[in-house]
Amino acid sequence: MSIKKTKNGTYQLRLYIPEDVQAKLGLGKLFKRKYKTRREAKEVELKLSIDIKNAKSGKSHINIKNKGEIIFKKFYEDIWLEPYKAGQTTTTIKPPTKATVFQTENIFRLHILPILGKYSIEYPNNNKQLILSLLTPKANSYANFKVIRSYVNSVFDWAEELEYIPSNKLRKKISRIKANKKILLKESKREEDLSLDKEELKLWLQAFDIDLEKGLIDLKRLHSLLYDILFIR
């Protein structure tokens, strides 16, 4: 397996196909092809590596003609997850840690796959209203929706990279779904911070009594202030 730059500036991919999967993949012993960019060659190399792995484990090979019909759950498990673990689905320098991978798999298992798992990868990509109706309730109930939004976009971006779909048509639409649960929690916390708890109120009243005894409080001015608060505002 190698990618080498040729004299004319293209990149040649050479990949030996194991004998036991050649028939399943419809390929010969050596896959050799030139690409305009290293990125294109790397993507094909990765795709073939996944196909070889799937063929060896008995998983079905995805026909190029109907790649978009692959189920989201299958795409996540067979196509996206391993490259994600290797740090290839993002622009970050380092691959994710084992702890991050564990959390990611849990988020997919608990939140994303129950919503999108049964659809083909191309169906929600072509139905923006569907993705809104599926993800908005999650945004209203799950505080860390930003992570879900990021992972869903990552899956469709990777599907675009590997040409399972022409483009990720959902990026703008998904980015407009607000993390409503988190926003509500922040607002609630802000209101709590602005109010006094039992102990703080007790201390405030004690301080008020002391200032009142010392004549530091103008009762007329206090009456006017309370009137404004209770009846005008």
Q: What Å distances lie between residue 23 and 8, 28, 49, 182, CA to CA?
A: 33, 8, 15, 52
Query: Which positions ≥6 away from 27 have C-beta within 8 Å?
Result: 17
DSSP 29: S
154, 140 Cβ separation under 8 angstroms: no
The reported pTM is: 0.56
- Specify the pLDDT at position 116: 93
Assigned token pair, 192: 């709590």
Q: At residue 225, what are phi and psi to the nearest 5 degrees? A: -65, -45
Query: Which positions ≥6 away from 219 have C-beta within 8 Å?
Result: none
- Specify the pLDDT at position 119: 92
- Specify the pLDDT at position 224: 62
Domain residue extents for the chain: 2-56, 64-185, 196-232
Per run of 10 residues, the mean pLDDT along the chain (length 233 residues) is: 83 86 74 83 82 76 66 91 86 84 93 92 90 86 85 92 89 77 60 60 64 62 56 49
- Specify the pLDDT at position 113: 95
Q: CA 120, CA 76: separation in Å to the nearest integer?
A: 11
